[in-house]
Structure 1
Amino acid sequence: MNRSSAARAATGGVKVRETFTGRKAFIITAVGSAVGLGNIWRFPYITYENGGGAFLIPYLVALLTAGIPILFFDYAIGHRFRGSPPLAFRRLHPATEFIGWFQVGVCFLISVYYAAIIAWACSYTWFSFTQAWGDDAEGFFFGEYLQYDGGGTEGAGLSVDFVAQVGWPLVAVWAVLLVCLAAGVRRGIAMVSIIGIPVLVVMFVALVVYSLTLEGAGMGLDALFTPDWAALGDPSVWIAAYGQIFFTLSVGFGIMITYASYLKRRSNTTGSGLVVGFANSSFELLAGIGVFAALGFLAFAAGTAVDEVASSGLGLAFVAFPTIISEAPLSALVGVLFFGSLVLAGFTSQISILEVVIASVKDKTGWSRLVTVAVVGGASAVTSIILLGGVSGLTILDVVDAFSNNIGIVGGALLAAVVVSWVVRKLPVLTAGLNEHSSFKVGIVWRVLISVVLPVVLGWLLILDVRDKISAGYGGYDTWVVIGFGWGAIVFVAALAVVGTLFPWGGRSAMSTEDPDADEDAVATVDTGGPGDADRREGGER
């Protein structure tokens, strides 16, 4: 009897959902999703711009009142209702399935452009050995490497003409991603993080230690951590803190719902959530120290102030840091550590983003994992290579990123919090699910945070962003580009939510073939592959 047959026999012929081998594997995988590019290139600059050391106070408040509560919220839905976002929301209440498909649409959009940044980081890891960017890192990145044509600005059209040095690394990244996803939850998704996250931590700690030894490092740290206490009276600083926490934890767009669905039934979900939340924030703080120590060195070498070299996003990664690498001793080592860290952080996050889409389609159609990865992953890869492997790829990336993150993720999370709290009123069910096997119990405070505080914060973030984009457009791009790739992306997500919900659940779907209340320990007793023994050694995951 093979493993899948044994599983069905142990549960009366009903399939049991794939699971992580243990709670540790889940935590490492969830940390791998949360620790991404934003930790390295967004948090340091946000801190610097919003009060320096004083920003850590609203940041911690935001973590405790919004970040960890919504992390628990996602865990509760995924773990209790055992499914990808559409399946889990459908089981929570049939009228909420559309929320799950909305989140799937957001993940699809992000997966298309996120892979491109990983490919760029792979290329720059190689470039670090020769400092291929020369004396003009900015000109090299936008001109010689991307061959960016400024498409979408000042009336210039968009082009998808293939750029070999950009496109082929992107093809390679997608090939590795699809192989890992096809390998499944235990042998693919979890294994990537189990190997990748320790390597990432070692590499980044080494980079931080090295950066602290550079001349001018203290100047950079002073710029980052010197507190501006007056900033605490500025509402925009608090909004920035909540925005950073929300975007950094991989919450609100289906990732943690999907990952929690692969946990064993008797799992300590809140305990795991606390570990993930604080581990992610610890890495952000580490990133801030390393990045600003290096920026202090760059400012010292150039004889300028730190504020003249400080930046975030692509400017930090592909312009400022290559310049730092060119000036620093052991330049090749510094480049490999920095860009290698970007590759690993991006890769573990991209795996989690894609898994939301693949798991959702697999649950709905009943297709095998291999078929789903081939169809859905293949479609994502082709779309990504066509749109992002060309000379106008940077324009498309920038616009889709701005709308899918600031409107798509925030809008989907706001919708979920309001509908679950006030329309279908399922927070008591989620509270009971969280408390059943968890070490950290939640109650009225958690429900108030989800039903009142979170909608207020997310609603305010959404209103501010939509107002700005309607009144001022975005990024100086032509109106038709913002409408087509920005607002068009949101229309695509909304349309997918409708179509996905209307598409029927067939007889082969997870709704019909998987039992959300099945006891996986029964499967472990007949599983000869070893992971079941590991699970039992962890004491039922508690």
Structure 2
Amino acid sequence: MTETGTTGGQRQTWTSNRGFILAAIGSAVGLGNIWRFPGVAYDSGGGAFLIPYLIALVTAGLPILFLDYAIGQRFRGSAPLALRRLWRKAEVIGWFQTMLLFIISVYYAAVIAWALSYFYFSFGNKWGSDTASFFVDDYLQASEPGISSELVAGVAWPLALVWVAIIIVLALGIAGGVEKVNVIGIPLLVLGFGALVIRAVTLPGAADGLNALFTPDWGELGNLNVWIAAYSQIFFSMSIAFGIMIAYSSFQRRRSNMTSSGLVVGFANSSFEILAGIGVFSALGFLAHQEGVGVADLEGLTGPILSFVTFPAVISEMPGSALFGALFFGSLVIAGFTSLVSLVVGVSVAIQEKFGLSQRVAAVVVGVVCAVVSFGLFATTTGLFALDTVDMFANNIGVVSSAIAMCVAVVWFARKGDLLRLHLNSVSTFELGKWWLPLIGVFAPVFLLVMMIQKIVDVINNGYEGYPDWYINLFGWGTVALAVIGAIVGTAISWRGRDDPAFRPWPSVDFLEGQKR
């Protein structure tokens, strides 16, 4: 589907609002929903964690999501183009976001490749009895933190499949590729993971796992770190403030209901996280029951270790383990792939618009470059350590600083916050009051700044995971530096594509000013 813009150009659109919502949910619901939320909630007060979590959703997650939606739908472009049209000097923030999308894409694909491998391994429990040794030594063939050119075939082959699939989806376009993947994938994910959860809660010991997860520790509500964990989880799980939702909403039709769609996406994402928590801790309760220990005595309750070490151990203990394993790792593949699609779309559309390329050429160029970097860094014997380091710095410093910069630029420098609020109100049934401006202009940036400073101080004082300083400087701080340099270079290059000086946002400023309330 396409629509005619104000200058006569054609822009692809979603075929329906349902297609946009499913694509946005597909972007938000990713690997972190399954392997990060349960462990964070468990470590941060159990059931009591849901209070700061929901407050974070309402005061930061949804408000910044609405900001992304407003920028994308009103200014009809990827992050660099949309932010340039909003305020010319903000283009550099858009390219910083695009660089982050590129960086996250190249390692995220490697994790999906792991999940594909483990989907195959689940038929026959090929990981054996020592799941930790199998994952680190046999499968990843991990050496020491460093630089290696030795490819791991078990990672490289599924990684190639992932990138071929991504290029095909992007080449088919927004409606023909991206939307169809999500329209098929998200219902499959819900059905498959729902079946897994139903099976998990019927296992012996499941109640112990659920009690461990949801028993509230009210004293933790006075711990600043718990609140930071809540805002961090909401922020990283909703795909906000680094270009994805700007690009996705730019393909929405001009009269589409944006804030109501955002509420559906936000609460669907959080609902899936809670569902994941129920499934994961039911399974962990079963594992503890089988081993005769408490849930607290288990290791690997979050991150890749949960998915590729602890869960295979759970699966091995279960009757009908092949089906359970296929459902779990199949869910990881679908959740990861729909998120990866959104990451690469943000990069591809930005390159397409900047250089005046066709959709298919941009998809192939971006896909091939991403694949080459993925293979070179994350399909090698040192890929595990590079992935871990790049992920931490890209998210905790890169994405957080991107959100702070965007909020401050829009509200305080460009002075477009109220205009965007009026834009959303003009097309939406759920209208935003003036309370929205202090949330995106003061509260969210201040809290995110505190969160980022805490992480930076911790890394400077304590290092990261015991990795050598040179390694942290190269793959950690080097990741942030690469994003900054890429942003500067991207902004300096002249536009050859859609930077149309005759572009006029709709509705007009005069119309919106007349609608003030």
| TM-score band, normalised by shorter chain | over 0.9
Matched, 1:52 2:46: yes
- Quick one: which of 227, 231, 234 aligns to 2:223? 234
Kept in 1: contact 2:7–2:503 (CA 8 A) = no
Query: Are 1:270 and 1:441, in contact at CA under 8 Å, matched by a contact in 2?
Result: yes
Shift >2 Å, 4+ stretches: 10-14, 512-519
Correspondence 1:198 to 2:195 = no
In the alignment, which of 466, 469, 487 is matched to residue 479 of structure 1? 469
Counterpart in 1 of 2:400? 410
Cα offsets for 1:260-302 (capped at 9, x unmatched): 0000000110000000000000000000000000000000000
CA distance in 2, matches of 1:309, 1:108: 35
Match of 2:135 among 132, 141, 146: 141
CA positional deviation for 1:386: 1.6
> Does residue 1:166 correspond to 2:160, yes or no?
no
Does residue 84 of structure 2 align to residue 96 of structure 1? no
Cα 1:13–1:233 change in 2 (3 A) is: closer
SS in 2 for 1:17: strand
Give yes or no for the alignment of 1:461 onto 2:455: no
Structure 2 residue aligned with 1:349: 339
Alpha-carbon distance in 1 for matches of 2:354, 2:147? 35
8 A contact 1:70–1:252 mirrored in 2: yes
Give the percent of matched residue pairs that are identical in Structure 1 and Structure 2: 52
Structure 2 CA distance, aligned partners of 1:514 and 1:104? Answer: 25
Letter in 2 for 1:36: G
How far apart in 2 are the matches of 1:389 and 1:48?
A: 32
Task: Tell me the equivalent position of 2:247.
Answer: 258
| Offset from partner CA, 1:300-321 (integer Å, 9 cap, x none) | 0001110122510011000000
C-alpha separation in 1, matches of 2:6 and 2:226: 55
2:260 is the counterpart of 1:271: yes
Structure 1 residue runs without a partner (length 5+): 520-542
Change (3 A) 1:432 1:314: same
Q: Deviations over 1:449-482 (max 9, x none)?
A: 0111011111011101111112222111111111
> Which whole-Å CA distance do the structure 1 matches of 2:126 and 2:501 have between them?
54
Distance between the aligned counterparts of 2:506 and 2:437, measured in 1? 28
> Which of 495, 510, 527 is the aligned partner of 2:498?
510
Q: Which runs of 5+ in 2 are unaligned?
A: 508-517
Q: Provide the residue aligned with 1:331 in structure 2.
A: 321
SS in 2 for 1:444: coil
Among 67, 72, 96, the residue aligned to 2:61: 67
Q: Whole-Å Cα distance in 1 between the matches of residues 498 and 215 of structure 2?
A: 53
TM-aligned CA deviation for residue 16 of structure 1: 2.2
Please tell me the root mean square deviation across aligned C-alpha atoms, in Å.
1.4
Q: CA deviation at 1:514?
A: 8.7
Give the aligned partner of residue 380 of structure 1: 370
Q: How does 1:93-132 map to 2 (within 5 A)?
A: 93-132=87-126
Secondary structure of the residue aligned to 2:123 is: coil
- CA separation of 1:467 and 1:271: change in aligned 2, threshold 3 A: same
In structure 1, what is the Cα distance between the partners aligned to 2:137 and 2:501? 53
Q: Distance in 1 between matches of 2:363 and 2:191?
A: 31
Deviation at 1:443, TM superposition (A): 2.1
- Distance in 2 of aligned mates of 1:177 and 1:130: 29
Counterpart amino acid of residue 158 in structure 1? I
Q: SS of the counterpart of 1:179? A: helix
**For the Cα contact (< 8 Å) 1:15–1:515, is it kept in 2?**
no
Bigger Cα displacement from structure 2, 495-504 vs 202-211: 495-504
- Cα distance between partner residues in 2 of 1:483 and 1:281: 34
Tell me which moved more, 306-315 or 221-230.
306-315
Give the alignment partner of residue 449 of structure 1, picking from 439, 447, 470: 439
- How far residue 233 of structure 1 moved from its aligned partner, in angstroms, is 1.1
- Paired amino acid for 1:455: P
- Secondary structure at the aligned position of 1:512 is classed as coil
Q: Which amino acid is the alignment partner of residue 313 of structure 2?
A: T
Change (3 A) 1:166 1:372: same
The answer (yes or no) to whether the contact 1:363–1:510 under 8 Å persists in 2 is yes
Instruction: Please report how far the alpha carbon of residue 442 of structure 1 lies from its aligned counterpart in structure 2 after TM superposition.
Output: 0.7
Cα distance in 2 for partners of 1:351, 1:122 equals: 16
1:382 Cα deviation (Å)?
Answer: 0.7
The answer on whether the counterparts of 1:15 and 1:513 sit within 8 Å (CA) in structure 2 is no
Amino acid at match of 2:388: D
CA displacement at 1:424 relative to structure 2: 1.4
Cα offsets for 1:148-204 (capped at 9, x unmatched): 012x2xxxx421201111111111111111111111000111111100000000000
Residues 68-104 of structure 1 deviation map (CA, whole Å, 9 limit, x = unaligned) = 0000010011111111000000000101100000000
Q: Is 2:426 the partner of 1:436? A: yes
Instruction: Note if contact 1:83-1:258 (Cα within 8 Å) is conserved in structure 2.
Output: yes
Which residue pairs with 1:529 in the alignment?
A: none
Q: TM-score, normalised by structure 1?
A: 0.91
